[in-house]
Amino acid sequence: MSLPRRPRAVVFDLDGTLIDSEALVKDAHFAACKLMGVTMSDAQFLALVGMHREANDLQLKRYYGDDFPLDDFIAHTRAHIGDRVAPLKAGAVELMNALDELALPFGLATSSRRPWVEKHFAAHGLSDRFRAVVTRQDCLEGKPHPEPYLNASRLLAAAPGDVLALEDSYAGVESAHAAGCMTVMIPDLLAPTDVERGRAWIVTSLSDVTRLLSR
């Protein structure tokens, strides 16, 4: 496996790609639902993965009705997470170090909001490592729309076609592919389908990405 050209920049997704947060968020969602007297299935949770807040709000209303108290759900979810911080995914530090050695700038394009990003960047000492950070609040349209990756590419002064996007979700792969980025999927909770295989290279870890860029 090899890329069609050497990238001029790399853009990470956050949740499930750079940090191992999906299990933490799932636990919090399930706990919030229990407190509110409803249940969430694994399939229902997976449908939320990689989507931005507004899209998830609509999905929750489809699950539980238009009168579902979203503010209460969000408050319970945040309370359950509390001060806990998701760990970095295996191979993340080594990949970032390799990108520095290759003089490849890297950024972030995430469906999460800025406070969640800042919390994890501060905890893991990442605040000064990323040349560009694009959160949900920095875009009119979130993933699967291409805007997050288009914005990140612009901030990194690279054409989208010269950007390598790293993703774990269906919405993220669609977003990066639609932006014209070279896309690698590192599956977390979602197994790739034929759609993702047609849009992205599939690898098993961030360490595979390091090896890919070192060739």
pLDDT in tens, 52-77: 888 889 999 999 999 999 999 999 99
Q: State the pLDDT at residue 2.
A: 85
- For 134, the enclosing helix (H) or strand (E) is strand 132-134
Calculate mean pLDDT across residues 91-118.
97
- For 108, the enclosing helix (H) or strand (E) is strand 106-109
What are the pLDDT digits (tens) for 122-149? 999 999 999 999 999 999 999 999 999 9
Calculate mean pLDDT across residues 196-212.
97
CA–centroid distance for 137 within its chain: 14
Q: State the pLDDT at residue 27.
A: 94
CB of 41 closer than 8 Å to CB of 202: no
Residue 35 pLDDT exceeds 80: yes
Residue whose tokens read 């390091």: 210
Q: How far apart are CA 75 and CA 194, in angstroms?
A: 37
Q: State the pLDDT at residue 92.
A: 98
Q: State the pLDDT at residue 50.
A: 78
What are the pLDDT digits (tens) for 8-22? 999 999 999 999 998
Q: What is the pTM of this model?
A: 0.91
